[in-house]
Structure 1
Amino acid sequence: MNYKLIFKLIGNVLRIEALFMLFPLAVSFIYGGGDHPAFLWSILILAAAGTILAKLNPKNKNFRTRDAFVVAGFSWIMLSLFGALPFYFSGYFNSFIDCVFESISGFSTTGSSVLTNVEVLPKGILFWRSFSHWIGGMGILVFIIAVMPSINASSVNLLRAESTGPSPDKIVPKIRETARIMYTIYFAMTVILIILLKIAGLSIFDSFTNAFSVAGTGGFSNTNASIGGYNNIVAEIIMTVFMFLFGINFSLYFTLFGRKFTKFANDIELKIYLGIVITAILIITINISGLYNGIWEALRHSSFQVTSIISTTGFATTDFNLWPTLSKSVLIFLMFTGCCAGSTGGGIKLIRFIILFRAAKVELGKIFHPGSVKTVSINGKKVSNDIVSKTALFFFIYFAIFFVSLLLISIENKDIVSSATAVIASLSNVGPGLGIVGPTGNYATFSSFSKIVLSFCMIAGRLEFFPLLVLFTPHAWKR
Structure 2
Amino acid sequence: MRRGRPIFHPRLGWLAGGAKPVLYLVGMVLLATSAMMLIPMFVDLANDSGDWRAFALAVTGGGALGLVLVSAFRGSLAQGLNLRQAFLLTPLSWFSVAALSAVPLYLTPFGATSGDVTNAFFEAISGITTTGSTVISGLEDAPPGLLTWRALLQWMGGIGIIAIAIAVLPALGIGGMQLFRTESSDRSEKVLPKVRQIAAAIGSVYLGITILAAATYWLQGMTLFEAVLHALTTISTGGYSTSDSSFGNWEANGIQWTGTLFMLAGGIPFVLYVRLLAGDRRALFDSQVRSFVLFLAFTIAVTGTALFLSGLYDAEAAYRFAAFNIVSVVTTTGYATTDYTLWSNVAVAMFFGLTFVGGCTGSTAGGIKIFRFEVMYVMLKSHFRQLLYPNSVVAKTYNGRPLTDDVINSVVVFFAIFFAAYSALTIMLMAMGLDFLTSASGAVTALANVGPGMGDTIGPAGNFSTLPDLAKWLLSFGMLLGRLELFTVLILFYPRFWRS
Q: TM-score range by the shorter chain?
A: over 0.9
Distance 1:398 1:284 in 2: 28
Cα separation, partners in 2 of 1:212 and 1:16, compared to 1, 3 Å: same
Structure 1, 446-455 or 226-235: larger mean CA deviation: 226-235
Structure 1 segment 361-440 matched on structure 2, within 5 A:
361-435=381-455, 436-440=457-461
Of structures 1 and 2, the larger Rg is shown by 2
How far residue 329 of structure 1 moved from its aligned partner, in angstroms, is 2.1
1:381-440 deviation line (CA, Å, top 9, x unaligned): 112110110011110111011011011111232221121111111111110111021111
How far residue 348 of structure 1 moved from its aligned partner, in angstroms, is 0.2
Alignment of 1:279 with 2:261, yes or no, is no
Distance 1:357 1:124 in 2: 46
Tell me the TM-score normalised to structure 1 length: 0.93
Cα separation, partners in 2 of 1:60 and 1:183, compared to 1, 3 Å: closer
1:452-472 deviation line (CA, Å, top 9, x unaligned): 110011011111111111222
Structure 1, 162-171 or 448-457: larger mean CA deviation: 162-171
Higher relative contact order (CA 8 A, sep 6+): 1
In structure 2, the residue matched to 1:238 is 258
Alpha carbon RMSD of aligned pairs, Å? Answer: 2.2
In structure 2, the residue matched to 1:109 is 130
In structure 1, the residue matched to 2:191 is none
How far residue 477 of structure 1 moved from its aligned partner, in angstroms, is 2.4
1:78-98 deviation line (CA, Å, top 9, x unaligned): 110111001011132251110
Distance 2:212 2:314 in 1: 32
How far residue 185 of structure 1 moved from its aligned partner, in angstroms, is 1.2
1:223-262 deviation line (CA, Å, top 9, x unaligned): 1101111222211111110101110111221231233223
Structure 1, 31-40 or 343-352: larger mean CA deviation: 31-40
How far residue 141 of structure 1 moved from its aligned partner, in angstroms, is 8.9
Distance 1:343 1:114 in 2: 26
Distance 1:12 1:158 in 2: 20
CA contact 1:314–1:432 (8 Å) conserved in 2: yes
In structure 1, the residue matched to 2:271 is 251
Amino acid at match of 1:426: A
Distance 2:61 2:170 in 1: 28
SS in structure 2 opposite 1:111? coil
Alignment of 1:70 with 2:73, yes or no, is no
Tell me the TM-score normalised to structure 2 length: 0.89
In structure 1, the residue matched to 2:33 is 17
How far residue 198 of structure 1 moved from its aligned partner, in angstroms, is 1.1
CA contact 1:13–1:141 (8 Å) conserved in 2: no
Distance 1:162 1:3 in 2: 22
Distance 1:264 1:63 in 2: 33
Distance 1:389 1:328 in 2: 33
1:110-143 deviation line (CA, Å, top 9, x unaligned): 0001113222210000010011010001207939
Structure 1 segment 170-319 matched on structure 2, within 5 A:
174-265=194-285, 267-289=286-308, 290=310, 292-319=312-339
Cα separation, partners in 2 of 1:300 and 1:382, compared to 1, 3 Å: same
CA contact 2:169–2:178 (8 Å) conserved in 1: no
How far residue 159 of structure 1 moved from its aligned partner, in angstroms, is 7.2
CA contact 1:130–1:212 (8 Å) conserved in 2: yes
Structure 1, 450-459 or 247-256: larger mean CA deviation: 247-256
How far residue 168 of structure 1 moved from its aligned partner, in angstroms, is 6.9
CA contact 1:72–1:162 (8 Å) conserved in 2: no
Distance 1:306 1:181 in 2: 30
CA contact 1:426–1:455 (8 Å) conserved in 2: yes
How far residue 344 of structure 1 moved from its aligned partner, in angstroms, is 0.3
Distance 2:172 2:38 in 1: 27
Amino acid at match of 2:123: E
Alignment of 1:459 with 2:488, yes or no, is no
1:15-59 deviation line (CA, Å, top 9, x unaligned): 110111111111111123221001000000110111111121438
Structure 1, 160-169 or 370-379: larger mean CA deviation: 160-169
How far residue 100 of structure 1 moved from its aligned partner, in angstroms, is 0.2
SS in structure 1 opposite 2:57? helix
Structure 1, 227-236 or 363-372: larger mean CA deviation: 363-372
Distance 2:240 2:386 in 1: 48
